[in-house]
């Protein structure tokens, strides 16, 4: 089995080397890994760092200008060769040590898609309005798609390659999260949730998502309920 780890990156020069170190160091047993990093038009020196990080298991792709997380993931997907795919942000909010928890339901044949829930595991307190927004978007997801997710907006999403077949991502920004969730659920695939740790950043630490992204996410949930 091989795990493909997609790392979309935008202006993360202070964290990306440590993220890649952790991704390479995490113990996932005999599972092989490949790392596909997409620099999304960084302007802070991140590309220079990433050019030094390429090796036999790490491939780095570059966007000429910033297009968004969804666009970076879309760029990476054609290069995936693993049996499973997980998304890893380029900051330090999510801990690669949780890969083992994420992979376990796949290995046990209990799931095709696994989400890591920030609300059921240990976590650093997040901003109240971010928590409320996340809860609201999860509620809308549950109502529209007849499911019971606690954390639709989580970064840690793990997919088997088979579960992604026939899915074409259109979103460029953070609305990737509701789009992929909607399309997985419309394929009648039930999402398996596991608790993960979370160390959320604040804006002065580099957090990029804003209330506008919440509006786009809400629109995406409603749109993809009725269209492909």
Each residue's pLDDT tens digit, 41-55: 999 999 999 999 999
* 203 pLDDT more than 70: no
Q: Return the domain boundaries, the chain.
A: 2-226
Helix or strand run (H / E) with residue 59:
strand 58-63
Closest CA to 20 of 55, 45, 64: 55
Burial 20-43 (b: 16+ CB within 10 A, else e): bebbeebeeeebebbbbbbbbbbe
Mean pLDDT of 116-131: 72
Dmax (CA) for the chain in angstroms is 46
Q: Which residues contact 143 (CB under 8 A, 6 or more apart)?
A: none
Would the pLDDT of 201 be above 60? no
Higher pLDDT, 50 or 130: 50
Superfamily of domain covering 2-226? Spore Coat Polysaccharide Biosynthesis Protein SpsA; Chain A (3.90.550.10)
How would residue 153 be classed by pLDDT, with cut points 50, 70 and 90? Answer: very high
pTM (2 d.p.):
0.89
């Amino acid at each position: 089995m091989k795990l493909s780890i997609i790392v979309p990156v935008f202006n993360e020069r202070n964290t990306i080397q440590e993220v890649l170190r952790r991704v390479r160091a995490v113990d996932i047993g005999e599972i092989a890994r490949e790392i596909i990093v997409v620099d999304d038009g960084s302007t802070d020196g991140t590309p220079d760092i990433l050019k030094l990080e390429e090796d036999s298991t790490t491939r780095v792709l570059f966007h000429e200008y910033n297009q968004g997380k969804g666009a970076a993931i879309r760029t990476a997907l054609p290069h995936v060769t693993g049996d499973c795919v997980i998304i890893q942000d380029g900051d330090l909010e999510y801990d690669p040590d949780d890969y083992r928890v994420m992979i376990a339901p796949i290995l046990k044949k209990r799931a095709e898609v696994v989400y890591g829930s920030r609300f059921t595991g240990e976590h650093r307190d997040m901003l109240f309005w971010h928590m409320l927004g996340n809860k609201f978007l999860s509620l809308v997801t549950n109502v529209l798609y007849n499911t019971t997710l606690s954390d639709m907006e989580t970064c840690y999403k793990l997919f088997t390659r088979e579960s992604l077949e026939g899915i074409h991502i259109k979103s460029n920004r953070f609305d990737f999260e509701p789009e992929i969730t909607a399309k997985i659920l419309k394929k009648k695939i039930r999402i398996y949730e596991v608790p993960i740790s979370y160390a959320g950043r604040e804006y002065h630490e580099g957090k990029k998502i804003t209330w506008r992204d919440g509006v786009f996410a809400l629109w995406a949930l409603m749109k993809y309920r009725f269209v492909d």
